[in-house]
Amino acid sequence: MNFNLSVGLSTYLLVGAMLFCLGLYGVFVKKNIVAVLMSIELMLNAVNLNFVAFNRFLAVSSVVGQVAALFVIVLAAAEVAVGLALVIAIYRTRHTTNTDEFNWLKW
């Protein structure tokens, strides 16, 4: 058996777009702050996949895509650290992480 598994740029972009849409759906639908943070991470990983795929297929001799992906990974780690610190602080005062129960800005 000879399997030819050549995957092109469009396949990577399709998977990246599907991951991004799944993360966007999670941001809009989920009510738990931790689930929203996980959905944002999924969106950032979809962007990383697109960076690396573009670099692999369009600029083979360059490492710009990998460097951009590493920058996004560092940015995502900082976002998670700050986000989880905020979640812990909110949970200590409100005893919930449900976004529907936040009414701090209502008059």
Q: What are 39-81's pLDDT values in tens digits? A: 999 999 999 999 999 998 988 888 999 999 999 999 999 999 9
What gap in Å lies between CA 52 and CA 34, rounded to an integer? 27
C-alpha 32 chain-centroid distance: 16
Q: Give the residue-averaged pLDDT of 23-36.
A: 94
CATH among 1.10.287.3510, 3.90.1150.10, 1.10.3720.10, 1.25.40.20 for 31-101: 1.10.287.3510
pLDDT average, residue stretch 3-11: 78
The ranges assigned to domains in the chain are 31-101
Q: What predicted TM-score, i.e. pTM, was given to this entire model?
A: 0.84
Confidence bin at 106 (pLDDT 50/70/90): low
Q: What is each CA distance from 41 to 13, 29, 36, 48, 102, in whole angstroms?
A: 17, 15, 9, 10, 22
Between 103 and 52, the more confident residue is 52
**Three-class DSSP labels, the chain:** CCCCCCCCHHHHHHHHHHHHHHHHHHHHHCCEHHHHHHHHHHHHHHHHHHHHHHHHHHCCCCCHHHHHHHHHHHHHHHHHHHHHHHHHHHHHHHCCCEHHHCCCCCC
